[in-house]
C-alpha cells in the first residue's frame, strides 16, 4: 500500500531540528551502509576519483567512507547540529564559510576539501553550487520527503545528474496503513512512476528490515524491507 495522501506528518525544518535535539535519530548507522559495502566493487571498483552528492546527509558515516575511497563528497543538510558533530566525532578538521550561493548559507569543509557540507534546505540547492555529480547516494532523502514533494525533489535531483551519473537510492517497503512515515513507503511501482519517463531503473538488491523497523519506527509492521536501486538517465 502506498501512503495515504494527507495522512502523513509535517516533516519541516523544525521537525528535523527537534529530532536532532532530542537525539531521536534511530536512522543512523554506525558503520558504512550495507548496500554500499556489498556492491562496492561493482559500483566503484575502477578506482576513479569522482564526485558524489549526498542529499539529506545528516552525519552519515558514508561520507567519510566515500572520502577515504578518493571521492570528493558534497552533502546538504538543513540542521547544523549533525554537520558539526560529523566533523567533530570523526576528528576531521574543518572550516566554516558563509556562502551567497545557493541563497545565503553556511558551508562546512574539511581542511583537505574532500568533504563539503552545505547547511541549507535541499530545495534551495542548485547545480551552480558544485556542478553535476558522478554519483548521488540517497539514503534518507527521498524516503524522508513528504510524498507531495517527491516530484519537486526528483526534478532537482535530475538537474544534478551528469549524462553518466548513477543515482543510488535506498527505499523502504512496508504497509503504510500501520505507519504514515517518515520514512515513507516507496514501492517499486512508485519508483517506476516517478523516474520511468527519464531514467533506466535497476533494482539491484533488497534486504529484510522488519526487526530494525519495529525498533526504529513502528512496532505494528508485519513486513518491511529496504531496497537498493541504481538509476541512470536514459
- Cα within 13 Å of Cα(11), Cβ side: 24
- Is residue 181 a contact point for ligand SAM (CB under 6 A)? no
Distance of closest approach, residue 122 Cβ to ligand SAM, in angstroms: 3
- Is residue 122 a contact point for ligand SAM (CB under 6 A)? yes
- Is residue 95 a contact point for ligand SAM (CB under 6 A)? no
Q: Which residue from 76, 92, 213, 224 is in contact with ligand SAM, where contact means CB under 6 A?
A: 76
d(CA 173, CA 151): 19
- Select 16 or 94, whichever has its Cβ closest to ligand SAM: 16
Piece of the chain touching ligand SAM by CB under 6 A; list 136-144, 172-180, 198-206, 207-215: 136-144
Nine cell digits for residue 123? 530545495
d(CA 75, CA 198): 24
d(CA 219, CA 225): 14
Give the contact letters, 35-74, x = binds to ligand SAM (CB under 6 A), - = no: ---------------------xxx-x--------------
Mark out the alpha helices in the chain (DSSP H runs).
Answer: 13-21, 34-38, 40-44, 62-68, 80-89, 127-130, 150-159, 188-195, 210-216
Contacting positions for ligand SAM (CB under 6 A): 16, 27-28, 56-58, 60, 76-79, 82, 121-123, 139-140, 144
Amino acid at each position: 500500500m502506498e501512503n495515504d495522501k494527507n495522512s502523513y506528518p509535517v516533516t519541516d525544518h523544525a521537525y528535523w531540528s527537534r529530532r536532532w535535539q532530542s537525539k531521536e535519530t534511530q536512522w543512523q548507522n554506525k558503520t558504512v551502509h550495507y548496500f554500499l559495502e556489498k556492491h562496492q566493487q561493482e559500483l566503484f571498483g575502477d578506482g576513479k576519483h569522482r564526485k558524489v552528492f549526498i542529499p539529506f546527509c545528516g552525519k552519515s558515516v558514508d561520507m567519510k567512507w566515500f572520502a577515504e575511497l578518493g571521492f570528493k563528497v558534497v552533502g546538504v543538510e538543513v540542521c547544523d547540529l549533525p554537520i558539526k558533530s560529523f566533523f567533530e566525532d570523526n576528528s576531521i578538521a574543518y572550516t566554516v564559510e558563509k556562502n551567497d550561493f545557493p541563497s545565503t548559507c553556511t558551508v562546512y569543509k574539511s581542511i583537505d576539501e574532500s568533504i563539503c557540507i552545505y547547511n541549507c534546505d535541499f530545495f534551495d540547492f542548485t547545480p551552480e553550487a558544485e556542478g553535476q555529480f558522478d554519483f548521488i547516494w540517497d539514503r534518507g532523502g527521498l524516503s524522508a520527503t513528504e510524498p507531495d514533494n517527491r516530484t519537486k525533489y526528483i526534478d532537482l535531483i535530475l538537474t544534478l545528474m551528469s549524462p553518466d551519473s548513477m543515482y543510488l537510492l535506498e527505499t523502504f517497503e512496508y504497509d503504510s496503513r500501520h505507519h504514515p512515515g517518515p520514512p515513507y513507503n516507496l514501492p517499486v511501482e512508485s519508483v517506476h512512476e516517478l523516474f520511468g519517463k527519464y531514467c533506466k531503473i535497476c533494482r539491484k538488491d533488497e534486504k529484510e528490515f522488519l526487526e530494525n523497523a519495529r525498533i526504529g519506527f513502528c512496532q505494528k509492521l508485519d513486513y518491511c524491507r529496504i531496497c537498493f536501486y541504481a538509476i541512470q538517465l536514459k
